[in-house]
Structure 1
């Protein structure tokens, strides 16, 4: 049976999502505070969640946030060159979703709806819409 064919356990899904998310926030060089805020976790929970074998549960909101942030990362990597793709979330942006703020700040303040809006915005840029 192929890996994709088997049903994954919630703990396995959480572990994969957290590992991928940790790689993204490391690539973007986010602080512990910003990484935790983006994932809607306390800093202490984020520090524990980064470690292999984390046994805590993620809420549906948190899992959706991690998934959307990974999608944002993928869009940035496809759309922009390396230096801009790495820095885009932490640079002030005058685009309609950001009003001069950093996309990271807008995402943390606006929560899941704003994170999804950013992902949709980048997907539209990438698709030429």
Structure 2
């Protein structure tokens, strides 16, 4: 198995920097983040902060009235959050997968915050750390 990135069907490498790629990925990313934030029972303010958008933009997204394109940073946030969600559902076979992000955590990357709180405070770097942490817990590293 090669570790080189393969070109997308259109002949170019898919990146979050490419506006056409961002435009194509935005709808699915927004839908996924809206669903995982609801599953985690996070507030609108928390959902907006996790995705890196204003609360008014978040409200328009929830209402299906937002037609924008996520930025490279926002898609990176969405990707990390989706990875955390998926990893938790692979790790836990019960409702703990959706409760875990709301529980205070003593792990070194959480500083006694909930994972949601730690990801909001730490931004993209912390989101990626949380994703790696979950992958390590389930033996995926």
Q: Tell me, yes or no, whether TM beats 0.5.
A: yes
State yes or no: 1:31 paired with 2:31: no
Show the counterpart of 1:78: 90
List per-residue Cα deviations over 1:25-63 (Å, max 9, x = no partner): 111111101101111111101111234362212111111
Equivalent position to 1:123, from 130, 135, 141? 135
State yes or no: 1:90 paired with 2:102: yes
Equivalent position to 1:111, from 123, 134, 139? 123
For the aligned residue pairs, the C-alpha RMSD in angstroms reads 1.9
Q: Which runs of 5+ in 1 are unaligned?
A: none
List per-residue Cα deviations over 1:88-109 (Å, max 9, x = no partner): 1110001111121111111000
Q: Which runs of 5+ in 2 are unaligned?
A: 1-7, 12-19
Q: Relative contact order: is structure 1 or structure 2 higher (C-alpha 8 Å, sep ≥ 6)?
A: 1
Any idea what SS the aligned residue of 1:101 has? coil
TM-score by length of 2: 0.81
Distance 1:101 1:42 in 2: 22
User: Is the Cα–Cα contact under 8 Å of residues 110 and 118 in structure 2 kept in the other structure?
Assistant: yes
